[in-house]
Amino acid sequence: MTIAVLEGLAPEWFTPIQDGEDKDKTQFKIKPLDGMTYADVLLECKTDGKGNVQLSTEAKNICIKNGLIDWKNRCDSEGKQIEFSKKEIPKLPGKTIIAIATEIFCISALAGEAEKN
């Protein structure tokens, strides 16, 4: 059996847990990592011996840098829309960054598993 090429790594919208009505929630467009980038993330991860993976700070940074591609409904304190920019990412709350990085990691793992099946 040959190793399949990862294809069709389609972006999707992710909505982390947040207060407010559904229509006002900030959403983040994320995409699975390619094979090389996912391997880099895996090298930065730690496991607890039970198979549970913990993303290090560097692993989270790699996920965010390569997997976060857009957002919508993100506003400043005056209610003005903030356009997506890599420079704006560090201004996101820490819990949000962790949630986004974790989701990118999870969908990347699933993308690889789907290719095996």
Residue numbers of the domain that contains 28: 24-116
Q: Is residue 9 part of a domain?
A: no
- The structural domain count of the chain equals 1
Q: Is residue 96 part of a domain?
A: yes
Q: Is residue 13 part of a domain?
A: no
Q: Is residue 11 part of a domain?
A: no
Neighbours of 51 (CB within 10 A): 6
pTM recorded for the entire structure: 0.84
Q: Is residue 82 part of a domain?
A: yes
DSSP letters spanning 24-92 = G--EEEE-PPPHHHHHHHHHH-EE-SSS-EE--HHHHHHHHHHHEEEEES-B-TTSPBPPP-GGGGGGS
Q: Is residue 17 part of a domain?
A: no
What does the DSSP 8-state code read for residue 22?
G
Give pLDDT tens digits for 49-99.
888 889 999 999 999 999 999 999 999 889 899 999 999 999 999 999 999
CA–centroid distance for 73 within its chain: 17
Q: Is residue 86 part of a domain?
A: yes
